[in-house]
Structure 1
Amino acid sequence: MTDEETVGAVARKMVSEDARWIVDALLGAGKSSEEAAGVVALLLIGHSSRIVYEGALAIRSADPYLGVPAVANELKDVHADVITRSRHATKLLDDTKKSLDDLQSEMGGYYARHRQEFTGNSAEWARFMETDLGLYSAAGRLLGATIPLQFRMGILANSKVADLGQQLYEISQEHGSIQALLSQAAGDSSPITYDADYGPLGRIEDSDVLTDRYLSSRYDPALPLEAKLLLLMIEGELNVSSVLLPFTEARHPDAVFRARTIILIHALSGIQQVLGRLNGSSQSPSTQAIRAYVSQPRVQRLLGPGGPRNIRNRCMHYEIKDKSLALDTSKPMNGIVEAVYPEMSFSDFNQEVTNTTTELSDAVRNWTLR
């Protein structure tokens, strides 16, 4: 094949791999229970949106070595605006068009809506028992919280909370039909199998809390509640990466590598942004501990320009514009890691991402008022 043909084939292969991974990851949860399927859908819908959005861009490309007109003609965009917002939320706080203040304000809108719908409705003597934030956790780790998850899903804050379940169902149905088409991007029309087994994880626990009470002891006391909700979203993403994704990694190693790399790069960047706001205003020992961790040269290297950022770009966007990259479909990630970051092998970079994700997850978990 020519360089152009190889690059196009690799991009289409990644689209197909990611589509097959996310369907396996989502539908496999149904083997445990309907409840587990619903929670996993909440936790992974943002990743599905990324694949739908970026995959559709690739399949619709005018590049003859990338686009697949026969598949593109079947794609529909019923929830295009929601998918676009959800895909963009994959970047967490890395939004070039919105400042941290903008994102805090936006998250504040979600909080206000949930507080309005869930509090102030009981008799005055019973209001101390009211809650407005649902938490999902497993293996002792927070996987997600309802308010940040609505932001992550791309559903606007003015939507009624009671309608979110139906909206999630409709979006998931659309995702499923699109993923089925994207799975054929590399020419494989076989049905998608879903064998993900989350059984060893145990039950995904859910609990309800009052947002301001729960967050009063989380992260740094100098942070506004809205910033803490953003950190809650980041913490959930890190734990999804370290707790949930391993159950699908054996069958979909490259797809999980891409998801994990994207999560880590943006989680690190988001945490660094929040720490930058604190400057020297906080002397909290746990804040100083996480600041020291993020400041380590090996961690900062993941945020710098060059290799790690280039790998993240190839994990996020399927189209490869550099047709001269020396790719090899027999290697993990098709040789992309070595091609854009010659200093490291895929194995070494994958291990660094996995280890750093676990370490950062631990650091954020311990980021409490003490």
Structure 2
Amino acid sequence: MSGKSAKLQRRQNRALAVTDWSNLDVRMFRDDVDWLASLGEASQIDKRWQGIIGLALTPHMARVVHEGMALLQTRRPAHVRAIKLEFAAEIEASRHSVKLLDDTKKLYDGVVQDFERIDEQHSQAWAFVPDYALGVRDGRIFTTSRAAEFQRSGRFSERTTGPNGYSNRFGFDIGKAAASILRQFGYAPNFLALPVQQWGTAPTINTLDRSDYYETRFDPSFPPALSDILCLIEGSINSGLHIFKRIEGPFASPVFRVLFVTVSHALSALDEVRARYPDITETPGMSGVSDVIDLPEAVRIRTLRKLRNRCMHYVIPANLAELDERLPMYGLVEATSPGLSYETVNADVLLVLASLSDALHNWRQD
């Protein structure tokens, strides 16, 4: 083959590969929408689970819609105007909340300010009753009223429930948008049965006084907003482990992406807390968390920035090689992290999440 012919062949191969990779973009989006639809359907088995799942799932639904819109803009820009979003601003804010303290528009101080604002709203709305709601099972936090407000899952300061309540209207808008975006690519959501019996007993919602709770929950030197942040992190971790992973069924790839994003930002956020409060690094609570942050598996996860980006976004760079829809995560782990396999990274993620869940659960002061 002449040099000119070989060059042409390589160009054609690259063009074909990019087309195939682009198809994986839509396939990933389809996977996520099918997962959301199936998990939403599974939550109908029990009203207690339905509420908890709705609060836990909303930020990830927002990510799917936000990134799905970006994919639609890239692939079929003329179809974008067909999508109508009643809660566009809330969806964008909810999607950013999965970054925890890594939101470059806020960082630590901005997130603290958010929780201080939420505290003021809740204190006014709940002036004569316990001002804090906690979703918990076996002492492990799944959500709090203030975390849900930060993630835009709920608007507890309004205290409006039922079909006309904020949570129901927002959840409906996100779900409708995800399905509508998928239809612009020529597909409809596919509902698959999930092993809901593996969930076990649903977390219960307890109402209590926030100040009394935090007095023995974390270190006394922490401002209340920081304790709110720690509960947000703990709830994100436990939701991933005990809701999403427990019944992942045929949705291993969507669940892996959610868990990888969760663990990446949880490690970063907790390391930020450790750096800002060096005087408590030797206390039992922070020491237990530090032990997990410094695990080789945790350190390795934090180096995989390219993989984190592929778990967050759908559009796949054309320079990634050896992708294959038959592989776990379509080969994105191996393509972004040379020398590592999906099985290795997945094991790292589960180990670190379980260890963080235990460390945060055991932070309680004597």
Question: Normalised by the size of structure 1, how large is the TM-score?
Answer: 0.88
- The alpha-carbon deviation at position 366 of structure 1 amounts to 0.8
What residue ranges of structure 1 are gaps of 5+ in the alignment? 62-66, 122-129
Quote the residue 2:17 is aligned against.
3
The answer to whether the 8 A contact 1:326-1:339 is kept is yes
| Aligned equivalent of 1:125 | none
| Equivalent residues of 1:222, 1:278 under 8 A apart | no
Change (3 A) 1:293 1:223: same
**Distance change in 2, residues 1:324/1:37 (3 Å):** closer
Residue 199 of structure 1: aligned partner: 197
Are residue 36 (structure 1) and residue 49 (structure 2) matched?
yes
Q: Is the 8 A contact 2:31 2:254 kept in 1?
A: yes
158, 163, 166: which one aligns with 1:161: 158
2:337 is equivalent to residue 328 of structure 1 = no
Shift of 1:284: 1.8
- Paired position in structure 2 for 1:57: 70
**Conservation of the 8 A alpha-carbon contact between 1:55 and 1:318:** yes
Per-residue CA deviation, residues 121-172 of structure 1 (Å, 9 max, x unaligned), is 3xxxxxxxx311111123542111111111012778xx84223761111111
Aligned twin of 1:64: none
Contact 2:298 2:348 in 1 (8 A): no
Q: 1:353 Cα deviation (Å)?
A: 0.6
Q: CA deviation at 1:69?
A: 5.3
Over residues 41-91 of structure 1, what are the superposed CA-to-partner deviations in whole Å (9 max), with x where a residue is unaligned? 111111100101011110121xxxxx1457544311221100000000010
- 1:83 and 2:91 correspond: yes
Paired with 1:303 and 1:350, the residues of 2 have a C-alpha distance of: 14
- Structure 1 residues 350 and 71: CA distance shift in structure 2, 3 A: farther
Displacement of 1:35 after TM fit? 3.6
1:235-276 alpha-carbon deviations (Å, 9 max, x no partner): 000000110012431221100000000000001111111111
Worse-matched range after superposition: 165-174 or 238-247: 165-174
Q: Secondary structure at the match of 1:249?
A: coil
Q: Is 2:349 aligned against 1:353?
A: yes
CA distance in 2 between partners of 1:268 and 1:332 (Å): 24
Report how many residues are paired: 349
Q: CA RMSD in A?
A: 2.1
CA distance in 2, matches of 1:291, 1:98: 24
Q: Give yes or no for the alignment of 1:292 onto 2:288.
A: no
Report the residue type matching 1:141 in the other structure.
Answer: R
Residues 341 and 186 (structure 1), Cα distance of their counterparts in 2 relative to 1, 3 Å cut: farther
Seen in structure 2, the aligned counterparts of structure 1 residues 196 and 132 have a Cα distance that, compared at 3 Å, is: farther
Matched residue type, 1:248:
I
1:13 to 27, 50, 66: 27
- Residue matched to 1:102: 110
Moved more, 163-172 or 332-341: 163-172
**Structure number with higher helix proportion:** 2
Counterpart residue type for residue 90 of structure 2: V
Q: Structure 2: give runs of 5+ residues left out of the alignment.
A: 1-14
SS of structure 2 residue aligned to 1:302: helix
Distance 1:151 1:328, change over 3 A: same
With over 3 angstroms needed to count, the CA separation of the structure-2 counterparts of 1:282 and 1:221, relative to structure 1, is farther
TM-score, normalised on structure 2? 0.89
Hey, what does 1:124 align to over in structure 2? none
CA distance in structure 2 between the aligned counterparts of 1:234 and 1:140, rounded to whole angstroms: 15
Query: What amino acid is aligned across from residue 53 of structure 1 in structure 2?
Result: H
Contact 1:20–1:183 (Cα < 8 Å) also in 2: no
Could you say which residue in structure 2 is the equivalent of 1:274?
273
SS at match of 2:270: helix
How has the CA–CA distance of structure 1 residues 171 and 358 changed in structure 2, closer, same or farther, with 3 Å as cutoff? same
